């Protein structure tokens, strides 16, 4: 089964009104392949979401970086899936390692967010990843599989088509130390096998698993050639014109 490539630009907590406008202009003028060849999402900070949505070419999907697990109500400072939906947002990244490590989000909370966002009709991008010491100790799958279990427990069979799994080793995020193509491939193959055993063969074949962590225009080409790498979740390079190169590289690799 061929899986349509998927590339996300996670802008994290970056940008000014002026820099966001400049980035939108760059993306609108870029020659990224069309929607039939690659899904491309951009995830600005919540405060810029509606502005980006109203000014970016609809070829790009606009995503939130997080949502709450409660819905509307007395939850100061948070954003419910319902209000994101009302603002026209259709996709949400959940459980990024920065949410896990800096904001101390647990697997349980991440699972609750996934369940609510899916219930509200969102496409969701749950993130998983191991720390350096865990990889060095040979414990990568011991970390990733429980993270996957907490995600899978909150996805109904018919909802899997709205899930993209982002594998982002924490040691590769923002460090310039990208996983080797073999490391990304081996880990994502293991994840797909876990899904085959614990969800279904069908979901394992169809679900997109993307890699994140120091992806750039130069290294995205070889990573794209790995069979279990269906795309990327990009941080730093998504704020630069080379984001379009990354999209082009995966679209070309997967069209062959
Ligand atoms: O965390 C990431 C995307 O969500 C990756 O960030 P970098 O591409 O800056 O390493």
Domain residue ranges in the chain:
6-255
On the CB side of 26, CA atoms within 13 Å amount to 15
One-letter-per-residue 3-state SS of the chain: CCCCCEEEEECCCCCCHHHHHHHHHHHHHCCCCCCCCCEEEEECCHHHHHHHHHHCCCCCEEEECCCCCCCCCCCCCCCCHHHHHHCCCCEEEECCHHHHHCCCCCHHHHHHHHHHHHHCCCEEEEEECCCHHHHHCCCHHHHHHHHHHHHHCCCCHHHHHHEEEEECCHHHCCCCCCCCHHHHHHHHHHHHHHHHHHCCHHHHHHCEEEEECCCCCCCHHHHHCCCCCCEEEECHHHHCCHHHHHHHHHHHHHHC
* pLDDT-based confidence at residue 14 (cuts at 50, 70, 90): very high
Test site for ligand 1: of 9, 10, 238, most ligand atoms within 8 A of the Cβ: 10
pLDDT at 78: 97
CA of 197 to the centre of ligand 1 (A): 29
Whether the per-residue pLDDT at 254 is higher than 70: the answer is yes
* Average pLDDT for the chain: 98
Between 3.40.50.300, 3.20.20.70, 3.10.20.30, 1.10.390.10, what CATH number should domain 6-255 receive? Answer: 3.20.20.70
State pLDDT tens for residues 136-167: 999 999 999 999 999 999 999 999 999 999 99
State pLDDT tens for residues 111-122: 999 999 999 999
What percent of the chain is predicted at pLDDT more than 90? 99
CA of 183 to the centre of ligand 1 (A): 17
Angle (deg, nearest 10), helices 181-198 and 140-152: 40
CA of 13 to the centre of ligand 1 (A): 12
Q: What is the mean pLDDT of residues 186-198?
A: 98
CA of 73 to the centre of ligand 1 (A): 31
Q: Which residues pair with 167 in a beta bridge?
A: 128, 211
pLDDT at 1: 57
pLDDT at 132: 98
Query: Which residues have C-beta atoms less than 6 Å from ligand 1?
Result: 10, 96, 168, 173-174, 212-215, 233-237
Q: Which atom of ligand 1 has the smallest separation from the CA of 96?
A: 4
Residue among 96, 105, 134, 159 flagged as catalytic: 96
> Whole-structure pTM over 0.95, yes or no?
yes
Whether the per-residue pLDDT at 77 is higher than 90: the answer is yes
**ipTM of the complex model:** 0.99
Residue closest via CA to ligand 1's atom 7 equals: 235
The gap between the terminal CA atoms of the chain, to the nearest Å, is 14
State pLDDT tens for residues 169-179: 999 999 999 99
* pLDDT-based confidence at residue 256 (cuts at 50, 70, 90): confident
Q: Token digits for 146?
A: 């429980």
Q: What is the mean pLDDT of residues 38-62?
A: 98
pLDDT at 64: 99
Residue closest via CA to ligand 1's atom 8 equals: 235
Residue closest via CA to ligand 1's atom 6 equals: 235
Q: What is the mean pLDDT of residues 8-37?
A: 97
168 is catalytic: yes
Residue closest via CA to ligand 1's atom 2 equals: 235
């Amino acid at each position: 089964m061929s899986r349509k490539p998927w590339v996300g630009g996670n802008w994290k907590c970056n940008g000014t009104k002026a820099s966001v406008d400049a980035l939108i202009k760059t993306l609108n003028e870029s020659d990224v392949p069309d929607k039939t060849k690659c899904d491309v999402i951009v995830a600005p900070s919540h405060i810029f979401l509606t502005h980006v949505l109203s000014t970016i070419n609809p070829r790009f999907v606009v995503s939130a970086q997080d949502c709450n697990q409660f819905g509307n109500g007395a939850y100061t400072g948070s954003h419910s899936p319902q209000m994101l939906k009302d603002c026209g947002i259709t996709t949400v990244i959940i459980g990024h390692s920065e949410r896990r490590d800096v904001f101390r989000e647990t697997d349980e909370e991440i699972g609750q967010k996934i369940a609510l966002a899916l219930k509200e009709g969102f496409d969701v991008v749950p993130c998983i990843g191991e720390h350096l010491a865990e990889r060095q100790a040979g414990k990568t799958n011991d970390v990733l599989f429980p993270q996957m279990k907490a995600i899978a427990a909150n996805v109904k069979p018919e909802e899997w088509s709205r899930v993209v799994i982002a594998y982002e080793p924490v040691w590769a995020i923002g460090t310039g130390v990208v996983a080797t193509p073999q490391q990304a491939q081996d880990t994502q193959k293991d994840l797909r096998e876990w899904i085959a055993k614990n969800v279904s063969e069908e979901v394992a074949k169809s679900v997109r698993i993307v890699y994140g962590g120091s992806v750039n225009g130069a290294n995205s080409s070889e990573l794209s050639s790995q069979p279990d790498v269906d795309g990327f979740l990009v941080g730093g390079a998504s704020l630069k014109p080379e984001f379009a190169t990354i999209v082009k590289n995966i679209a070309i690799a997967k069209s062959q």
